[in-house]
Amino acid sequence: MSILVYIEHAEGAIKKTSLEAVSFAHALSQQTGGGDVVAVGLGTIAEDQLAKAGEAGASKVLYVKDSKLDAGVIQAHADAVAQIYEKVGAKTLVLATSSLGSAVAARLAIRLQAGLVSNVVELPDLSSGYQVKRSIYTGKAFALTTVDTEHKILAIKKNAIDLKTDGASASVEVVSLEIDQANFATTIISTDQATGEVLLPEADIVVSGGRGLKGPENWGMIEDLAKVLGAATGCSKPVSDIGWRPHHEHVGQTGVKVAPTLYIAVGISGAIQHLAGVNSSKYIVVINKDPEAPFFKAADYGIVGDAFEVLPKLTEAIKAVI
């Protein structure tokens, strides 16, 4: 039985969350007695990038080389993946929970009559049916969910599974598909993307600032620390509401949900809505001048102190060891 994995890329580089989905599919195929793990990439992707899916656990990569698919037009991607799914004769589709991935998965759930579970955090338990653990209530709880259909779609939550890196480089086969023009009903006019930065949703380390930083002119301290760590920068909601930082940096219940190895929060009080976006982080460091700030209750390490004093010192101290 084959498993198909839909992989996303940003300007030709495969996303880490998609490689995690490949590793998940690999582990799933081992659990269910082997079978091919086929990864499918759409658009324009360098072949050596595609081959990387092999290291993450794919046995084969199908490459639909079509520049019309470079933009993430949801319906067109869904149509391409459905055609490949049928061609491969797969019974399960695995992908990353992301804005494009989830949208594609939703359309495919209807088209393939497949049961769909999102935010999956573990391999399914097959001892009693097909039971999947998924994260709900923005990380505040889990639901054990059975999938009651023959065809299954699992959308994996980021950082939920260890990335496999020791697989063999996979063979890449270019396939061409006919995609009906009707699937391009939404037209992308332009994109406006920050380049050269570490993307927040994918970042391994995040340095975030809150209202405690007093104004946008003080973000240099946050950026310096982020630079030393190779981290992405984030912020609390009021900070993006007032326009100190761009909206796509806002972390929390109503913003980006991050799941980095290390989250450093500076001058953020730790309101429950902010915590909802960071509670999947492995380690949390809090710097706040108020010892009663609620964020300390969710933190692993903390410093009670003035950010303007502590942050430059911390950046220097980290520079000295890495």
Partner 1 sequence: MKILVCITHVPDTTSKIQFTDNNTKFDKSGVQFIIGPYDDYALARAVELKEQLGASLTVLNVGEADTEPTLRKALAIGADDAIRVNAFPKDSLFVASEIAAIAKENNYDLILMGRESIDFNGGMVHGMVGQLLGMPSVSPVMKLDIEGETVKMAREIEGGKEYLEAKLPLIAGCQEPIAEWKIPNMRGIMSARTKPLNVVEPSQNQSATSVVAFKLPPAKGSVKLVDKDNVEELVKLLKNDAKVL
Ligand X SMILES: Cc1cc2nc3c(=O)[nH]c(=O)nc-3n(C[C@H](O)[C@H](O)[C@H](O)COP(=O)(O)OP(=O)(O)OC[C@H]3O[C@@H](n4cnc5c(N)ncnc54)[C@H](O)[C@@H]3O)c2cc1C
Note whether 246 and 240 are within 8 A (CB). yes
Tokens 């009080």 label which residue?
Answer: 269
- Residue closer to partner 1, measured from CB, 46 or 136: 136
- d(Cα 21, Cα 34) in Å, to the nearest integer? 17
- Structure tokens, 276: 């909802």
- In the window 137-166, what residues touch partner 1 (CB under 8 A)? 137-149
The correct pick among 49, 75, 169, 218 for binding partner 1 (CB under 8 A) is: 75
- Structure tokens, 280: 């999947």
CB of 51 to partner 1, least distance (A): 23
CB of 131 to partner 1, least distance (A): 6
Note whether 263 and 206 are within 8 A (CB). yes
Choices 51-59, 87-95, 219-227, 293-301; region in contact with partner 1 by CB under 8 A: 293-301
Which residues are 62's β-sheet partners?
A: 40, 173
* 167 touches ligand X by CB under 6 A: no
* 169 touches partner 1 by CB under 8 A: no
* 321 touches partner 1 by CB under 8 A: yes
Residues 6+ apart with CB under 8 A from 3: 25, 28, 29, 35, 36, 37, 38, 90, 91, 92, 93, 94
The correct pick among 118, 159, 208, 233 for binding partner 1 (CB under 8 A) is: 118
Choosing among ligand X, partner 1, none, which partner's interface includes residue 277 (Cβ < 5 to 8 Å by kind)?
ligand X
- In the window 293-322, what residues touch ligand X (CB under 6 A)? 293, 306-308
Choices 12-20, 169-177, 182-190, 205-213; region in contact with ligand X by CB under 6 A: 205-213
* 104 touches partner 1 by CB under 8 A: yes
- Residue closer to ligand X, measured from CB, 43 or 252: 252
- Structure tokens, 226: 């982020």
Q: Which H, E and C letters describe 33-79, residue by residue? A: CCCCEEEEEEECCCHHHHHHHHHCCCCEEEEEECHHHCCCCHHHHHH
Choices 34-42, 44-52, 162-170, 193-201; region in contact with partner 1 by CB under 8 A: 193-201
List of residues contacting ligand X (CB under 6 A): 210-212, 236-239, 250-255, 267-269, 271, 273-274, 277, 288-290, 293, 306-308
